[in-house]
Amino acid sequence: MKGGTLWRRIVLGVMGLYLFVPLLGVAEFSLRMRRGVYSFDAFAAVFADGRFRETFLYSSALAVVTVVIGMVLIVPAAYAVRLYAPRLRAMVEFVTLLPLVVPAIVIVFGYMRLFGSQSWLPLTDTEIGSDALLAFGYVILALPYLYRSVDAGLTSMDVRNLTEAAESLGARPWTIMLRVVLPNIRTALLSGAFLTAAIVLGEFTFASLLNRPGFGPYMQLLGANRAYEPAALSLVAFALTWGLMVLIGAFSGRRTGA
Amino acid sequence: MSFLTVHGLRKAFGPVVAVQDFSLEAERGEFISLLGPSGCGKTTVLRMIAGFERPTAGRVVIDGEDVTDLPTRARRIGMVFQSYALFPNLTVEGNIAFGLKVAGIGREAIATRVKEMLGLIGLQQLGGRYPMELSGGQQQRVALARAVAIRPRILLLDEPLSALDAKIRVSLREEVRGIQRELGITAIFVTHDQEEALALSHRVVVMSEGWVEQTGTPAEVYRTPRTPFVATFVGTANVLPCRIEAAAGKVVRYGAARLTAGQAVTGAVGEIVQFAVRPEAIGLQRFEGASNSLAAVVQDTRFLGPVVRLRVMLEGGLPAVVDVHGEGARDVPAAGAAVHLWFRPESLQVLDRHGHGARAAGSGPGGSSGP
């Protein structure tokens, strides 16, 4: 037992070092902007940069739009598959995993061919069109995470019986969705939403190739031209992601119906 | 016209036919059980009455209204599920109020009705709790209250007691029956438990392999089973293949023994007809009115508390069981003893040769079976 405990501690210690040493290195480097002393100058420079606020707000807004579109598409689809076509579940799961297999760059070049200036629907010709295209692209990127979260939520709630119980009490499909399904998969929805937000905030390929002012391209641009600010920005982005993860954990821990 | 009329219901799932030609008429306030083993189609019938399954053929008429093509929400039925199906995000009060809110009833009326329902199920103190904070029995009582709160025309119960332990099942089934009687609501109760069906129902519909085997009062179904399936599924029965001695007579022959049936047997002379005799209708001593007798050898004895069950082998190699109770149970013959089994003519029940159960129970030489 004692040997086992020691072995566990060694494994955890090595893993901790692997994860945190680079982070500590980045943190240390981000504080060395002022020669000879540690300071938060790099962080101040990042926060003072107007492009930081613009790109962060842009990506945050896009994350909200992505989550809304994703949920509107995926919740009814996952619900319908479970209730009316359970045999299709494996196939739908496979389809939702495709974005993990097909590289983002392939998808975005496909979009540019389909919706470019020469196409029958030239979405990339306008900013709003490109924004819409970006949001739809992000929905595709987030599909594996959103679908899995929603499906896990539906698994835990005995969808069929609760739906039938609500029907027998006179509820219409819309009422069942709003009063029975959504409240009972709330935690799963929040998990999916936060994961989606984390993905959208750091995404580079789509935003860059569609030439949109996303947070991902801004991080890349800063990294290519500055020394200390990228380190500070990495920590900020890391803190944001961790914050979202903590929120997922907090909502997951809350009792249903409480 | 009956309050509930189910006529010629049939349900096929692809090539598999789950329900065949199911018909039933139920009066207002009647409690009817659909009884049968797993996969016999009883739940499918209930789901077709509820509107969860669309019949391949047949009609469902409630209070004169043909509801066959109506969605569940428009049928005004109450349903209680085996898994309770309470909404986990709502409190007990919220669950009971759900159907009332959906119906657009005023807040005060809802509060009054919810209070009334909580009183009915005796859970006044637990209105603010969530389902996960209740025991299985309490959850099922809430599910029952939720179903009847909307004043449904028919209450449908799909094996509501199956997930509960034995003691709670018995107390809750009495509660279910009490509430049904108090509200005067027509109830269709699905169960595979014969004791539950016999104890609760005005009438029992015994089903097997999608067919109705027999419909009758609990006493009719038990005392005068129509098919081998009913005889062996509802209680325990010895099924004896006997040869008709005379056309339209009561006398038949089992091996060398001549037996007299309680009613005239139709069929040609020499034809084999199956008869059922309940183990508790058989005595090891001749008793008043017992004119039928069969020789047998005791195989073994089992002490079951109120009765001692003897497994015997009849002449001709057919196994049978005999239940001995009362004082006679203190001194039963040991294994290997030769005995005579005595029973009255009315205990020898003729079974329907053409019953669906004849196919379900197999067309073998008979024997005894039961739960």
User: Which CATH code of 3.30.720.200, 3.40.50.300, 1.10.3720.10, 3.40.50.2000 fits the domain covering B4-219?
Assistant: 3.40.50.300
**Token pair of A23 as six digits:** 């982070």
Kindly report the nearest CA distance between residue B200 and chain A, in angstroms: 23
Please determine, for the modelled complex, whether the ipTM score is greater than 0.95.
Answer: no
* Nearest residue to A166 (alpha-carbon basis) of B127, B152, B158, B85: B85
- Tens of each residue's pLDDT in chain B, 371 residues: 799 999 999 999 999 999 999 999 999 999 999 999 999 999 999 999 999 999 999 999 999 999 999 999 999 999 999 999 999 999 999 999 999 999 999 999 999 999 999 999 999 999 999 999 999 999 999 999 999 999 999 999 999 998 888 888 999 999 999 999 999 999 999 999 999 999 999 999 999 999 999 999 999 999 999 999 999 999 999 999 999 988 878 889 998 899 999 888 888 888 999 999 999 999 998 888 888 999 999 999 999 988 999 999 998 889 999 999 877 778 889 899 999 999 999 999 999 865 554 443 333 334 444 43
The tokens describing A219, both together, are: 């991080």
Alpha-carbon distance A34 to B244, whole Å?
113
A165 contacts in chain B (CB < 8 Å): 79, 81, 85-87, 143, 146
Alpha-carbon distance of B58 to A169, in angstroms, equals 24
Q: What does the block give as tokens for B190?
A: 């699905």
List chain B residues with CB under 8 Å of A169: 73, 98-99, 102, 146-147, 150
CB A96 within 8 A of CB A147: yes
Instruction: List the structure tokens of B29.
Output: 């306030």
Is any Cβ of chain B less than 8 angstroms from the Cβ of A178?
no
Contact B91, B127 (CB under 8 A): yes
What the block records as the tokens of B73 is 């929400």
Say yes or no for a CB contact (<8 Å) between B102 and A184: no
Q: Are strands B154-158 and B186-191 parallel, antiparallel or unpaired?
A: parallel
- Closest by CA position to A198, among listed A251, A252, A140, A238: A238
What CA–CA distance (Å, rounded) separates B147 from B151? 8
Kind of pairing, strands B251-254 and B319-325? unpaired
Query: What pLDDT is recorded for position A21?
Result: 94
Confidence at A2, pLDDT banded by 50, 70, 90: low
Closest in B78, B87, B89 to A168, CB measured: B78
Tell me the domain boundaries of chain B.
4-219, 228-369
How far B333 CA sits from the closest chain A CA (Å)? Answer: 53
A164 Cβ under 8 Å from any chain B Cβ: yes
- Determine the longest span between alpha carbons in chain B, in angstroms: 77
pLDDT at residue number A254: 55
What is the pLDDT, as a whole number, of residue B167?
Answer: 86
Say whether A164 and B81 touch across the interface (CB within 8 A): yes
Instruction: Give the residue from B272, B242, B270 showing the smallest Cα distance to B256.
Output: B242
Give the residue from B233, B283, B232 showing the smallest Cα distance to B38.
B233
Which positions in chain A touch B83 (Cβ < 8 Å)? 158, 161
Among the partner-chain residues A165, A180, A257, the one whose CB lies closest to the CB of B79 is A165
- Within 10 angstroms of residue B202's Cβ, the number of other Cβ atoms is 14
| B chain contacts of residue A256, beta-carbon cutoff 8 Å | 88-89, 130, 132
- Provide CATH code, domain A50-253: 1.10.3720.10
Mean of per-residue pLDDT scores for chain A: 90
Largest CA distance in chain A: 74
A-chain residues near B89 (CB < 8 A): 180, 183-184, 186, 256-257
Its pTM stands at 0.83
Residue with tokens 């470019």: A116
Least CA distance to A176: which residue of chain B? B102
What is the rounded CA–CA span in Å between residue A91 and residue A95?
6
Interface of B to A at Cβ within 8 Å reads: 50-52, 71-74, 76-79, 81, 83, 85-91, 98-99, 102-103, 130, 132, 143, 146-147, 150, 156
Domain ranges of chain A: 50-253
Contact status of A175 with chain B (Cβ, < 8 Å): yes
CATH annotation of B228-369? 2.40.50.100
Give the separation between CA A161 and CA B82, rounded to whole angstroms: 9
Inter-chain CB proximity A166 and B87 less than 8 Å = yes
Grouping H, G, I as helix, E, B as strand and the rest as coil, residue B8 is strand
Q: What is the pLDDT of residues A96-129, one digit of tens each?
A: 999 999 999 999 999 888 898 888 889 888 999 9
How many Cβ pairs within 8 Å bridge chains A and B? 76
